[in-house]
Amino acid sequence: MRIFASLSAALLVFASLTAAAQTPAAPQTQMVAQTPPMGWNSWNYFAEKVTDKDIRASADLIVSTGMKDAGYIYVNIDDTWEGERDASGVLHTNAKFPDMKALADYVHSKGLKIGIYSGPGPKTCAGFEGSLGHEQQDAELYARWGIDYLKYDLCSFIPAVMMKQAPNDKAEQMRIMIAAYDKMSKALKATGRPIVLSLCQYGWDAVWEWAPALGGNLWRTTGDISPHWDRIYSIASQQAGLESYAGSGHWNDPDMLEVGNGKLSLAENRTHFTLWAILAAPLLAGNDLTTMKPEIKAILTNRDVIAIDQDPLGRQGIRAYSDGEVEVWTRQLQGGAIAVAIVAAGDSRYSTHPFHLNLAKLGLHGQQAGKDLWTGKPITLTDNQPIEIESHDVLLVRIDAPR
Ligand code: GLA
């Protein structure tokens, strides 16, 4: 009996060793979001109008514009793809998305990955079918379709479950919310498919403190972004102090990019992208790629700036100091390098009184040789140097050997 038991144990070990040798890594052990996820999401431009055709066109353009080569990999469908559940509870797509499996295959055939959207409530934010009571079933459906990324948005779960179950107890409401995210995280893991989990609950209950432990790969830290400088800058400011929570596999998410949307000036687009890179933020473009202007493409595909965002050290940058309306952000990079972003956040500082750099406040001493990542030219930073930056613009410098 004992011999039989140890023999079968040995066979089991042998079988699993051979299996491990034949298959690549077991899906459960594959790591996702080792650097902040990069890609494109439908919401910020298409919102509720997005269709299968828009997703295919975006996938095509991500490849043909060079965005894929620059690192944009996830093509994410946001809200409004959902249809009705059938008698067995299986969720179907609506008429805008005739065949999700075929769409996923198409996106994969381009060497890209595909993302989808749902929420823990009965309805999504746009009032479509949510995952409440169908978490495992939905996770399995995503896996069958070949989905690689899920954005899970709280919305109707607040009134329908949290406030209903614990009307006068905020702390209990938060526990219910955390359990809902944990449930979907476990459901995704149980499918065996590596799927990035993006939490969207607007930063409630210091999400950065608990999301990594339940397997969240990124979490929104604020309410929604919009293509306006004040909103973008306010969101960036709210990231200061959250740097210690970010790291490989788990990132603060100041929301998707508005680069190329609305009436943002070129300077504002540049500064938005710079700040997201300093913040080690997910870079999910949200513009209409079919009408993307060359100067917007140049911002989104600036390899030097993307390299800051994707730096393998995975350290989120900090707001080092501010001098009135001018703010200096820095980010530690692999190999001892540092990125310095000087942001003219306001609009009432003029060349009569330019900003003067204080290197000591950055822990630097003497002349610093670097590269201006927006002009691509060498630049030397010196102490007390007067620096003129137009309103809402930025100077972004990479210093490889800081002193
Ligand atoms: C919320 C989210 C947005 C978007 C919409 C979709 O507002 O924060 O990013 O997903 O829902 O309805």
- How do beta strands 218-220 and 368-372 pair? unpaired
What's the rounded mean pLDDT across residues 330-342?
Answer: 98
Q: Is the pLDDT of residue 7 over 50?
A: no
pLDDT-derived band at 228, boundaries 50, 70, 90: very high
Pick the more confident residue, 29 or 35: 35
Q: What is the pLDDT of residue 9?
A: 39
Report the predicted TM-score, pTM, of the whole model to 2 decimal places. 0.93
Please give the biggest Cα pair distance in the chain.
Answer: 91
323 is catalytic: no
Among residues 79, 80, 76, 77, which one has the least CA distance to residue 38? 76
- Burial class of residue 360, CB neighbours in 10 A (0-12, 13-18, 19+): exposed
The size of the chain, in residues, is 403
What's the rounded mean pLDDT across residues 145-169?
Answer: 98
Whether 200 is in the pocket of ligand 1, judged by its Cβ within 6 Å, is yes
Question: Percentage of residues in the chain with pLDDT exceeding 90?
Answer: 92
What's the rounded mean pLDDT across residues 81-106?
Answer: 98
Q: Are 396 and 305 in contact (CB under 8 A)?
A: yes
> 346-393: per-residue pLDDT in tens?
998 888 999 999 999 999 999 999 999 999 999 999 999 999 999 999
The pLDDT mean for the chain works out to 93
Q: What is the pLDDT of residue 341?
A: 98
Whether 153 is in the pocket of ligand 1, judged by its Cβ within 6 Å, is yes
Q: What is the pLDDT of residue 350?
A: 87
Which of 60, 182, 224, 304 is catalytic? The answer is 224
Q: What is the pLDDT of residue 30?
A: 67
Question: Mind spelling out the 3-state secondary structure of the chain?
Answer: CHHHHHHHHHHHHHHHHHHHHHCCCCHHHCCCCCCCCEEEECHHHHHHHCCHHHHHHHHHHHHHCCHHHHCCCEEECCCCCEEEECCCCCEEECCCCCCHHHHHHHHHHCCCEEEEEECCCCECCCCCECCCCCHHHHHHHHHHHCCCEEEEECCCHHHHHHHHHCCCCHHHHHHHHHHHHHHHHHHHHHHCCCCEEEEECCCCCCHHHHCHHHCCCEEECCCCCCCCHHHHHHHHHCCCCCHHHCECCEEEECCCCCCCCCCCCHHHHHHHHHHHHHCCCCEEECCCHHHCCHHHHHHHCCHHHHHHHCCCCCCCCEEEEEECCEEEEEEECHHHCEEEEEEECCCCCCCCCCEECCHHHHCCCCCEEEEECCCCCEEEECCCCEECCCCCCEEEEEECCCC
Whether 251 is in the pocket of ligand 1, judged by its Cβ within 6 Å, is no
Whether 253 is in the pocket of ligand 1, judged by its Cβ within 6 Å, is no
> 59-75: per-residue pLDDT in tens?
999 999 999 999 999 99
Q: What is the pLDDT of residue 119?
A: 98
Q: What is the pLDDT of residue 351?
A: 87
148 is catalytic: no
Q: Provide CB contacts within 8 A for 223, sequence distance 6+.
A: 202, 203
pLDDT-derived band at 79, boundaries 50, 70, 90: very high
User: Whose CA is closest to atom 3 on ligand 1?
Assistant: 224
Whether 393 is in the pocket of ligand 1, judged by its Cβ within 6 Å, is no
> 273-325: per-residue pLDDT in tens?
999 999 999 999 999 999 999 999 999 999 999 999 999 999 999 999 999 99
Q: Are 118 and 124 in contact (CB under 8 A)?
A: yes
Which of 54, 78, 153, 253 is catalytic? The answer is 153
Our measurement of the distance from residue 13's CA atom to the centroid of its chain's CA atoms, rounded to an integer in Å, reads: 39
Residue labelled with tokens 């409530």: 121
Ligand 1 geometric centre to CA of 153 (Å): 7
Taking residue 48's Cβ as centre, other Cβ atoms within 10 Å add up to: 13
Residue labelled with tokens 């137009």: 390
Q: Is the pLDDT of residue 83 over 80?
A: yes
To test ligand 1's pocket by mutation, which of 79, 129, 150, 258 has the most ligand atoms within 8 angstroms of CB?
79
With both helix axes pointing from N to C terminus, report the angle between 100-109 and 135-145 in degrees, rounded to the nearest 10: 50
Q: What phi and psi, each to the nearest 5 degrees, are found at residue 190?
A: -65, -20
Q: Provide CB contacts within 8 A for 8, sequence distance 6+.
A: none
Ligand 1 geometric centre to CA of 115 (Å): 14
User: Assign residue 215 a region: left if phi > 0, alpha if psi is -120 to 50, beta otherwise?
Assistant: left
Distance CA 291, CA 46 (A): 13
Distance CA 191, CA 195 (A): 9
